[in-house]
Structure 1
Amino acid sequence: MRLLVASNNAKKTLELERILADAGINGLEVLPLASVPEYPEPVEDGRTFADNALIKARAGAAHSGLPTVADDSGLVVEELGGMPGVLSARWSGTHGDDAANNRLLLAQMAHVPDSRRAASFVSVCALVTPDGQEFVTEGRWEGTLLREPAGEGGFGYDPLFQPEGEARSSAQMSPAEKNAVSHRGRALAQLVPHLAQLVR
């Protein structure tokens, strides 16, 4: 059975493969978007992570005819009412400008005391099958927003996020350490029972 991941991010494909292997699920071939005929990229105009994950997974299942997994994720800051949220990648106005996004967030939080700097990375994963079944899971990684960037690894807001119980930022953790506790890993792991049904 082939399973489409609605992304060309190799790390996401590998992460799902690792989770399936750890769960002892065999018989699922995980494919990136590049493995199926190209189709129009759906507009991610949802108001929530779940909305956007479902938009991507539904498009993948409809165009490829394969069960499709998609995720949407971002940083949620309590002091900002849950923002940047679904706008995380384009918080500063330009999509994917990590440095500008980080600068803006730091400026917005500059005068907020340490006691009110709680933040979470949130990932919502959706599995949509060609026959219309839909499953949605959520993973959260709790932590605190730092006052200046720390670390060179990771991407996005990793240099500003200090996970609960850690003395380091997530940008100072190795990819293996991050994957073991990350929001996306937690969300994907919750999809395992549904993915197991695909090969029964």
Structure 2
Amino acid sequence: MTGSGLRLVLATRNPGKLRELRRILAEVGLDVELLSLDEFPAIGDIPETGLTFAENSLIKAHAVATATGLPAVADDSGLCVDALSGMPGVFSARWSGGHGDDKANLNLLLAQIADVPDGRRGGHFACAAALALPSGTEHVVEGALAGSIIREPRGTGGFGYDPIFVPEGGARTLAEIPPAEKDAMSHRGRAFRPLALVVADLLRAV
């Protein structure tokens, strides 16, 4: 446990996401003991029934805060492709049918926009990060990162759609960018850095 004695649950079992969020929270100096859902095996899958990233992040954060009795942070994020009218959006993690099959999701997306010319392959990553306290207090921050979708995956870092997404003004995919550099620009970083400041203020009052 940290010196502060504060505990915070990150509502994810995704190891890549967990590492990324741990780095971001540590970056802003948030002194808490960070727990993941792996430490609460009794918590099953939480249905993401919302139609927006903000709705889904709040659903997960409140469910975990209620189940654990601890403050919980959750995010919902995804890739919004212009040529697909903003899809897969909130369905990004289960675009191919099964939840969390990154390779299948990525391959299906590439197949769906195979005939789209390079100049029209724009899109953005979106993220909504939510904090929920057992008392019912909640807060949401949203972030986005614009870019384009390339035709073949590149890079071995990151997860999800990172290997096919090149941020606006750049030449490397998110999977080719070092973690600290990615955190500085990512949609998740842009949502979680301001949320971490809210977390720090609220947890001091708990």
Normalising by structure 2, we get a TM-score of 0.87
In structure 1, what is the Cα distance between the partners aligned to 2:100 and 2:22?
26
Distance 1:99 1:16, change over 3 A: closer
Mapping of residues 104-143 of structure 1, within 5 Å: 104-143=108-147
**1:170 maps onto 2:189 in alignment:** no
- Residue 171 of structure 1: SS of its match in structure 2? coil
Q: Please name the residue that 1:2 is paired with.
A: 7
User: What is the number of residues matched between the two proteins?
Assistant: 199
Match of 1:158 among 159, 162, 173: 162
In structure 2, what is the Cα distance between the partners aligned to 1:99 and 1:16?
22
In structure 1, what is the Cα distance between the partners aligned to 2:50 and 2:126?
15
Fraction of identical pairs, as percent: 55
RMSD between aligned residues: 1.9
- 1:43-91 per-position Cα deviation (integer Å, ceiling 9, x unaligned): 1122111121111101111111111000111111112111001111221
Match of 1:70 among 74, 80, 89: 74
TM-fit CA distance, 1:168: 1.2
Q: Please name the residue that 1:33 is paired with.
A: 37
- Residue 175 of structure 2: SS of its match in structure 1? helix
Query: Is the Cα contact below 8 Å between 2:25 and 2:192 reproduced in 1?
Result: no
- Residue 52 of structure 1: SS of its match in structure 2? helix
Distance 1:97 1:8, change over 3 A: closer
Distance 1:54 1:176, change over 3 A: same
Query: Is the Cα contact below 8 Å between 1:53 and 1:70 reproduced in 2?
Result: yes
Normalising by structure 1, we get a TM-score of 0.89
Distance 1:109 1:32, change over 3 A: same
- Residue 131 of structure 2: SS of its match in structure 1? strand
Distance 1:168 1:66, change over 3 A: same
Worse overlay, 13-22 or 40-49: 13-22
TM-fit CA distance, 1:24: 3.6
Query: Is the Cα contact below 8 Å between 1:3 and 1:30 reproduced in 2?
Result: yes
Query: Is the Cα contact below 8 Å between 1:151 and 1:172 reproduced in 2?
Result: yes
- Residue 187 of structure 1: SS of its match in structure 2? helix
In structure 1, what is the Cα distance between the partners aligned to 2:7 and 2:70?
7
Q: Please name the residue that 2:57 is paired with.
A: 53
Query: Is the Cα contact below 8 Å between 1:13 and 1:31 reproduced in 2?
Result: no
